[in-house]
């Protein structure tokens, strides 16, 4: 997708296309539409990052709280967003055996109890074993450091989702 095509989108089409690059936070894409014209995809990404960074700590935690658990209730009940479903599936979260499901449930619960938000990791960049490992490891962080750490993962997820939208659009056009 050419950046001129993106810059020509109405806010309605822009939010429809990019509304879930930050999970369940269409507010963010809707906000950065104000900064058109964008120079390129990196410029869109930079505006999203800027918006997130300037939020108060509660807002950053709020972004995290809009994310589903990995291998959690939404996956079991089929209520994940399309993007999350795809990412969790690729990371092997949909084919865990019952012992692994229980392990994820326990670690997720411990994490949420400790931090007040869910464990967020860019599933596309991590395999199953790495995810479990990092979940155990990051449980040792203090809350402020872990919030920032998790927001870094949100940015990675956002970056890949942005790229994915552009690529699928080109594929549709071919």
Minimum CB separation from a second copy for residue 172, in Å? Answer: 22
Question: Are residues 91 and 131 in contact, defined by beta-carbon separation less than 8 angstroms?
Answer: yes
29 vs 84, which CB is nearer to a second copy?
A: 29
Q: Which two tokens stand for residue 145?
A: 């450091």
Q: Is 37 one of the binding residues for a second copy (CB under 8 A)?
A: no
Q: Is 35 one of the binding residues for a second copy (CB under 8 A)?
A: yes
Q: Is 32 one of the binding residues for a second copy (CB under 8 A)?
A: yes
Minimum CB separation from a second copy for residue 113, in Å? Answer: 9
Minimum CB separation from a second copy for residue 24, in Å? Answer: 6
First to last CA, the chain: 11
Minimum CB separation from a second copy for residue 32, in Å? Answer: 7
Rounded-to-integer distance, Cα 153 and Cα 147, Å:
10
Q: 71: which residues sit within 8 A by CB, 6+ positions away?
A: 88, 93, 94, 96, 100, 101, 104, 105, 108
Under rule CB under 8 A, which residues in 92-121 are in contact with a second copy? Answer: 112, 116-117
Under rule CB under 8 A, which residues in 45-64 are in contact with a second copy? Answer: 51, 54-59, 61-63
Active site residues: 67
143-173 helix and 57-65 helix, angle to the nearest 10 degrees: 60
Other CB atoms closer than 10 Å to residue 160's CB: what's the count?
Answer: 17
* Contacting positions for a second copy (CB under 8 A): 10-12, 15, 24-35, 51, 54-59, 61-63, 65-66, 112, 116-117
């Amino acid at each position: 997708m050419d950046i001129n095509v993106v810059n020509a989108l109405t806010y309605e089409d822009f939010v429809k296309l990019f509304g879930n690059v930050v999970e369940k936070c269409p507010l963010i894409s809707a906000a950065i539409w104000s900064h058109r014209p964008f120079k390129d995809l990196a410029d869109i990404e930079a505006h999203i990052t800027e918006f997130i960074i300037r939020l108060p700590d509660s807002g950053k935690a709020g972004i995290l709280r809009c994310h589903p658990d990995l291998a959690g209730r939404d996956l079991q009940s089929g209520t994940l967003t399309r993007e999350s479903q795809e990412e969790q599936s690729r990371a092997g979260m949909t084919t865990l055996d019952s012992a692994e499901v229980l392990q994820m449930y326990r670690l997720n619960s411990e994490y949420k109890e400790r931090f007040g938000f869910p464990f967020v990791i860019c599933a596309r960049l991590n395999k199953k074993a790495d995810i479990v490992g990092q979940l155990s490891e990051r449980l040792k962080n203090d809350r402020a450091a872990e919030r920032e750490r998790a927001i870094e993962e949100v940015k990675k997820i956002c970056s890949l989702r942005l790229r994915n939208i552009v690529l699928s659009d080109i594929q549709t056009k071919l």
